[in-house]
Amino acid sequence: DTEVTQTPKHLVMGMTNKKSLKCEQHMGHRAMYWYKQKAKKPPELMFVYSYEKLSINESVPSRFSPECPNSSLLNLHLHALQPEDSALYLCASSLPTGNTEAFFGQGTRLTVV
Amino acid sequence: GQQVMQIPQYQHVQEGEDFTTYCNSSTTLSNIQWYKQRPGGHPVFLIQLVKSGEVKKQKRLTFQFGEAKKNSSLHITATQTTDVGTYFCAVWTTDSWGKLQFGAGTQVVVTP
């Protein structure tokens, strides 16, 4: 199984809502990532988890809160988002060594209204 | 941190033609990867280059890593409509392990 599964595929939320994005992989990868991608732009790294611990936070606003409950799951909790946060949110995983293939999920297309 | 500049950002190709996209860095890279993202899709890994002067082929795709490990190219021959998408180069930065950083991407449009 070389898949990274993200749910939901689409999400529309109001600025006062709380929602969560979910990501799951069963490849035994101990590094997991959240990326944000705006239209016609490259993916931008948000967070890196290594062995279930947060290792990199790219100065992401606190309205985005990541969580890694176990080695297969990665969540991104959303609260009080702004319309400019509308984007494709991609989860990825890889071996924890770096310099290796990253596997991306299909993404959650988020619209904040 | 390591940054890669990718050109062109947009490429309009007639079916059957060849094209090349380039990635350049001001610093020596330890590795470079290439990903393809189809319209509405997600990035999919194509290849990783590690050695100076390395050349790898995948059917009609040829990937090169420069001798100085500061540039890379992706050349596609006899473009097909299935080649439509955005091609990104990406590097794992050495200043902060765990960061896979992407170039701006080359969006490829193929006309029959």
Tens digit of each residue's pLDDT (9 = 90 or more) over B13-36: 999 999 999 999 999 999 999 999
Q: Are A26 and A74 in contact (CB under 8 A)?
A: no
Selecting from B43, B90, B96 the residue whose C-beta is nearest the C-beta of A56 gives B96
What's the rounded Cα separation, in Å, for the pair B42 and B35? Answer: 9
B82 three-class SS: helix
pLDDT band of B106, cuts 50, 70, 90: very high
- Identify which has the larger pLDDT, B87 or B30: B87
Task: Tell me the nearest-neighbour CA distance from B104 into chain A, angstroms.
Answer: 5
Selecting from B42, B101, B105 the residue whose C-beta is nearest the C-beta of A104 gives B42
What integer pLDDT is reported at residue B3 of this predicted model? 82
CB contacts, 8 Å: A31 with chain B: 98
Q: Give the residue from chain A lying closest to B92, CA to CA.
A: A99
Region label for A51, one of left (φ > 0), alpha (ψ between -120 and 50) or beta (otherwise): left
What's the rounded Cα separation, in Å, for the pair B110 and A69? Answer: 43
A61 has pLDDT over 70: yes
A98 has pLDDT over 90: no
Q: Cβ of B100 and A107 within 8 Å?
A: no
Tell me which amino acid residue A90 is.
Answer: L
Interface of B with A in 35-94 (CB under 8 A): 41-45, 48, 50, 88, 90, 92
Selecting from B41, B96, B102 the residue whose C-beta is nearest the C-beta of A42 gives B102
What integer pLDDT is reported at residue B95 of this predicted model? 65
User: CB-based contact (8 Å) between B30 and chain A?
Assistant: yes
Q: How many residues can be counted in chain A?
A: 113
Task: Tell me the nearest-neighbour CA distance from B47 into chain A, angstroms.
Answer: 8
